[in-house]
A = this chain, B = another copy of it.
């Protein structure tokens, strides 16, 4: 196995990627903010199935954090991350500085409208503008054939997919399943913020989603609003949990649904102390 390469500048990155491209490699790309867990690594495994050369970026992007969010305390365990990348068979890790990504005079933004109006877009103004801008930059830098994103960040994945489609980028955006801990909690870099007590109740988020799914299978209610209310009550019952949103939406358009029709995304965000957790499930109601 060839040794894993690292790049900290765009120029280094370009040189190494063009080298791989010249030898005919299909380039897979996994953009992350580091603080890696098995969910990230599952994206690498998926990329390796379909691509010859996997580029992995670690960049905590200031542009996608709000002024009162956790940019500064976001975990940055770089050595652990590099070890995980090596073990997973990543070919090239890109770790740019903030200055490398946003040099003086930087003034371009990429924005997806519509899809970003609700869910996390509503709770975190400007967040998705930061996400699409940095991902467009990373796409420009890496020029991958395919990019791999996690379903846990459902809205983010859809927004990036829409951006790639709207801007006609020759990049396949692949959305991969959420990985979960044994007790159902969606894997997230932010789980490490949780106290023992918070960690012990956090699986109730996914439990609520699963109960909703069971209720839908039993056709318990007529309207989405009734299912939403059930879930909201269950989440509000989580000790010290503060619900940010609970939404039942079309899984493609993210438009709020009155009935449980088609492919339905149930997405939630909840704060446990200072830690904001998100999770979601998709229900194919016609299946």
Which residues of A (248-275) have their CB < 8 Å from a CB of B?
253
Determine the residue in chain B with the shortest Cβ distance to A140. Answer: B168
A137 contacts which of B111, B113, B141, B166 (Cβ < 8 Å)? B166
A-B CB proximity, top 6 nearest: A108-B166, A140-B168, A107-B114, A107-B113, A141-B168, A140-B167
Task: Report chain B residues within 8 Å CB of A137.
Answer: 166-168
Task: Report chain B residues within 8 Å CB of A170.
Answer: 14, 140, 143
Which of under 10, 10 to 19, 20 to 34, or 35 or more describes the interface residues of A? 20 to 34
Instruction: For the complex formed, measure the closest distance between the CB of A108 and the CB atoms of chain B, giving whole angstroms.
Output: 4
Task: Report chain B residues within 8 Å CB of A235.
Answer: none
Task: Report chain B residues within 8 Å CB of A132.
Answer: 108
Given A107-B162, A108-B110, A162-B107, do A140 and B115 touch, yes or no (CB 8 Å)? Answer: no
Which residues of A (167-191) have their CB < 8 Å from a CB of B?
167-170
Q: Taking the complex as formed, is A163 at the interface, i.e. its CB lies under 8 A from any CB of chain B?
A: yes
Q: A107-B112, A109-B113, A110-B111 given. 7 additional CB < 8 A pairs?
A: A10-B168, A106-B166, A107-B115, A108-B163, A108-B166, A137-B167, A137-B168
Task: Report chain B residues within 8 Å CB of A112.
Answer: 107-108
Which residues of A (97-123) have their CB < 8 Å from a CB of B?
105-115
